[in-house]
Every structure is written in C-alpha cells, then in structure tokens.
Amino acid sequence: MRLKSNWDTKRLYDVIVRIPGSEYPDEWIIRGNHHDAWVNGAADPVSGAVAEMEEMRGFSELLKQGWKPKRTLIYCFWDGEEEGLLGSTEWVETHAADLEKHAVAYINSDGNGRGFLNAQGSHTLENFMNGVMKDIQDPETKLTIWKRAQLVGISRGAADRKRELRTRPDLRIGALGSGSDYTAFIDHLGIASINVGFGGEGGGGGVYHSIYDDFYWFTHFADTDFVYGRALSQTVGTAVIRLADSGLLPFQFGDFADTVRIYLDELKKLDADQRAQIDERNREIEEGVFIAAADPRVTSIPPPKDPIPPHLNFAPLEDGIDALARSAQKYDAARTKASPSNVQAVNSKLIQSERRLTDSAGLPGRPWFRHMIYAPGFYTGYGVKTIPGVREAIEQKRWQEADAQIQRVGTILIKEADLLDEAVVALGK
C-alpha cells in the first residue's frame, strides 16, 4: 500500500448570518452546521446544511412580511469541521467574551437521514425540546416525532426503561461529548447546547466519509425524497423561533436535577464495582488462580496486587444535588405562574445557568474543557463522560483526585442552586 497525505495549509471560511433582535438584541440564539466534507459529503454534512439553509429561507420570507425576532439570530456555516472542529472553535475562541455575555443557546445539526429524531444536549433544555418534538409531525408515520420516539423506545427498551417511557412526562435526551461543532460552545464556554438529527432507517451502508456519500446514494438509499430534511428544518426552525420570541427563556431545571442524580448513582456503582473487582483479583492472586490457569509451557507472570481503594466520600456531591433539586423545584413551580415585569433581569440569570456549571481551571490534564457535568472522555474521542472529573479519576484509580473532584462538582452544583434561588426572587418582582 502506498499512502500519500496532503499537509498543505488552506484558509477556512465560516459563513455567518445575523438577524438583529427587535426587543432583546443582546441575547443571541446561535444555529450551526458545517459545510466542509470528506469527498462528496451528501449525508455529512450537506443533508444538515441544506436543512439549515431552508430555515434561513423561511426566515427571509417572514422578514419580508414584517416579522422580526425578539432576540438576535446568528446562523453559522462552519468550515474545517472534519479536520478538527476548526472553524467553530476558532470563532468561539475569537468571540469568547461576547458569547459569554450574550449567547443564550446553540443548536447544532450535522448529517441527517431517515428515521427517528435523536437529540442530545443540555438537560436544562430537555423539557423545551420535548415541547418542540410534540408539535412536529413525522413525515412517514404521521405521528408526532415525540410519539414515534417514545414508542420506538418502548419497543427496544428493558422493563424499567419501558416503564419510564410510559410514565415520565419528558423523553430523556442524551448528554453531549464531542464530534461536532457544539463542542466549543458547551465544553469550553458553557453555552447551553442541543444537537439534533434524524436517523436509524435507510442504512449507513458504509458510505461514511467515503467517495460513495454522494447524491446518487442519498436519493436511492437514505432520505430519498428529502422529507426528513424538511422535518429537520421544521424541528430546528421551530426551536429557534421559540427561543427567539419567548418572553421568559424556556429553561427548566427539574429534568437536569433528575439527570445529575442518575449520574451520581452511576458514579457510586462504578466506585463499588471497582473496589469489588480489585478485591476479587487480589484474592485470586493469593490463591494462585493465575498460575494454575496458565499454560505451564508458556512463560507468564501473574499481575501484581492492587491496594484496595478507599471508600470515597460522596457527601459533597449528594449535598450539591439535593440543593439543586430543591432550587429546581422552586424555580420550575414559580416560572409556570409568573409573568415578571423584569423579564430581562430573570433571563440574564438563566443565560448564566450553564456557565455556572463550568470552572475556569478546566478538567484535570485538559484545562480547555471547562464543563464539570459534560465532556468527551479523555480516551473515548466522541464518547461522553458525565461528571468527568470524578468518573475518570475513579476509572484511573486516582482516589485523592476523585475526592477533590467530588468536592469541586458539589460546590458547582450549590452555586447553580444559588443562581436559581436568585431567579425565583426575581420572578416575584
């Protein structure tokens, strides 16, 4: 095999479109999809890019009719995504000070296909996205995309999952790791973000990032008549308009508190499993299991014994989650019946709610990643690690670091709870 690589340096081009807000111009709703591709890129990224262009065409028609968004809309086409999220990351870093002050939320798409809506992102927007999903029709089944996602989940889920899908008011959305242009927004600056796209039917067919990802393949095997491209435009366009034109920003914190408590339960199980595994292996080493099971004709050495991990003190994290849950309940109850005269004052706090989940010092060994609840794993690439500072310390058997990170995240959650308490007070004015 002869391998040739091109290491030329080329200029990247982001395309940025801004529609000024009529009432709250300093509050920004940002929407993005990349436009660069490996080879042809029909599915990745053109299928998402054309949906975004259709949203802009729709907004153009509305503007001609006299409509203006209350908040500023910023529509972005990113370059250099495939080479490492370059266009979006450079733009976010260049405008970091303004984004920290003005960005309400970022909505991302990438490739799109045929099937079910897949949504991941900030759980403060989980309730909001459920509301959007309930108002968009699946183009083939004619169910709402929410109902179809619920029923598909029931068909594939375990018993406890089926029970939750039938009783929980909101469908859960996944957490974000990395792999697309939302990364700099949520992981670096703490801007509430959502990533959406349809898929699960039509097949991947092995065309990903290949010469075969072209118009012929897409129109014969993927979203053959573009109805799911239209559905993506309807979904994201609806979300953008609702974020732009709402009075009180539609953040909700009960789902977030519920999700973080699940993450804590996962950490406790990970810690217990780690301790049990080490204890069992040490016992097998003492019993001579590895020597007895080895082939006597092959030289092998049994592993060394590991020290038994100390019991971690999860109390600071439990205290933080309890405080968050109490404050979330108070805020969510207050927002349903409030019509505050000082909407901007309340919204300014809500805009900062995702920022409160970050720490300027960043995660251990990678300070650029500042979000304490969501991050791509150090060794997993795209894959997400939730409460990553604690989780990865346990996985790497760094017990003192795990204790320190538990304290750190607990403090972050209490600060988030304090912000919600301030928002409750502001709602009453």
- Mean pLDDT, the chain, integer: 96
pLDDT score for 341:
81
The helix-helix angle for 388-395 and 399-427 (nearest 10°) equals 170
What six digits make up the tokens of 297? 């004709």
Question: For 216-228, what is each residue's pLDDT tens digit?
Answer: 999 999 999 999 9
Domains and CATH numbers, the chain: 15-245 (3.40.630.10), 254-427 (1.20.930.40)
Question: For 51-62, what is each residue's pLDDT tens digit?
Answer: 999 999 999 999
pLDDT score for 204:
67
pLDDT score for 206:
87
pTM, 2 dp: 0.95
With vertex at residue 246, the alpha carbon angle to CA 256 and CA 259, rounded to the nearest 5 degrees, is: 5
pLDDT score for 197:
97
pLDDT at 45 over 80: yes
pLDDT at 255 over 70: yes
pLDDT at 338 over 80: no
- What is the per-residue burial (b if ≥16 Cβ within 10 Å, else e) of 78-111? bbbbeeebbbbbbbbeeeeeebeebbbbbbbbbb
Question: For 92-104, what is each residue's pLDDT tens digit?
Answer: 999 999 999 999 9
**Could you count the other beta carbons within 10 Å of the beta carbon of residue 308?**
10
